[in-house]
Amino acid sequence: MKALVGIDTHGAYLPALDLLAALKFNKPVVTLLHAVDLNYPLGPTDPHTEAEFSKVVQNLGLSALDRAADEACGKGLRARTKMVFGRAADCMIQEEKAEQPDLIAIGATHCGKSSKTYLDSATSALALGATSSLLVAKGDHGGKRKKTFTAVFAVDHSAHTDRVVDKLIELKPQGIDSLHLLSAYEIDDDIAKATRLNLPMLGGDASRWLEDEFEKRTAIVSARLKEAGFNVTSAVVEGEPNAAIEAHMRAADLLIIGSVGSSTEGSGRRIGSVGLHQVGFEPYPVLMLRA
């Protein structure tokens, strides 16, 4: 399994490296990538100052990569380092296109002191534009000191669900001890009207119909995951998906969620509103599967 890890000079990547190691993917080969932005932060200046600034930021980058390599080695990860030049978000996307990793791991940071979101520019760019699966660690919510994980796998049973399940089985993180399969559904006026008109045998009970359908599909997914070796429990709940996920994550360490498929030919995968909220606004780590 090929993984790409974004390395910064402030150590925000450390929880991502912890999480990547603790999840115990199958023989991960890791590229530690640091992007050096050579643009002088105060705007145009004299050539001597720009040259000195370039030396400083490159040396800081090399030191960060050396530290990251030591950290990776200490966690039993086989890693190589690479320095590139440009904005971090752009460089991560370019490297992903060139290397085509199975997984990108990144440590997300707050946008500001008063911000409730973890969706910094690099994380945002990868969530919106990358095609590889994305592992997002947040602050101290990484894999440090964790031996095994309890994960919530949120599925919506849309057309891409089977491919997302395939991707999880393919990656099969051995560090997940317990996998809780969660399906949440909402009843809106259109669904209620459609069931009244088209499913008269249900007496217009949209909730009953949807619950039965979700239970059947959840049982099929659960059986596939159990056959693949996961220790699976499951739940089907009526309610807003983000609220349902948040409630079930109180007893879990990691959220697993899928993206919603290709946006346009040759571009990144679209991330739905639930996925965007979970990656950007909740404090727990997220594994977003792209298939």
The pLDDT tens digits for 195-230 are: 555 555 555 566 777 788 899 999 999 999 999 999
Three-class SS of residue 116? coil
pTM: 0.87
Distance CA 200, CA 205 (A): 9
Tell me, what's the pLDDT at 21?
94
284 pLDDT exceeds 80?
A: yes
110 pLDDT exceeds 50?
A: yes
Tell me, what's the pLDDT at 100?
94
Q: Which residue, 146, 118, 149, is CA-closest to 254?
A: 149
For 259-275, write each residue's pLDDT tens digit. Answer: 864 443 344 445 678 88
Tell me, what's the pLDDT at 264?
39
Tell me, what's the pLDDT at 235?
96
Three-class SS of residue 85? strand
What phi and psi values does residue 76 have, to the nearest 5 degrees?
80, 20
3-state percent helix, strand, coil for the chain, nearest multiple of 5: 45, 25, 35
- Cβ neighbourhood burial of 73 (10 Å; 0-12, 13-18, 19+): exposed
For 5-38, write each residue's pLDDT tens digit. Answer: 999 999 989 999 999 999 999 889 999 999 999 8
The larger pLDDT score, comparing residue 145 to residue 237, is at 237
Structure letter (DSSP) for residue 154: E
Core vs surface per residue 229-239: b (16+ CB within 10 A) or e: ebebebebbee
The secondary structure element, H or E, covering residue 157 is none
Instruction: Report the chain's terminal Cα–Cα distance, integer Å.
Output: 15
**Cα-Cα-Cα-Cα dihedral of 247, 251, 252, 255, to 10°?**
0
Would you tell me how many other CB atoms lie within 10 Å of the CB of residue 182? 25
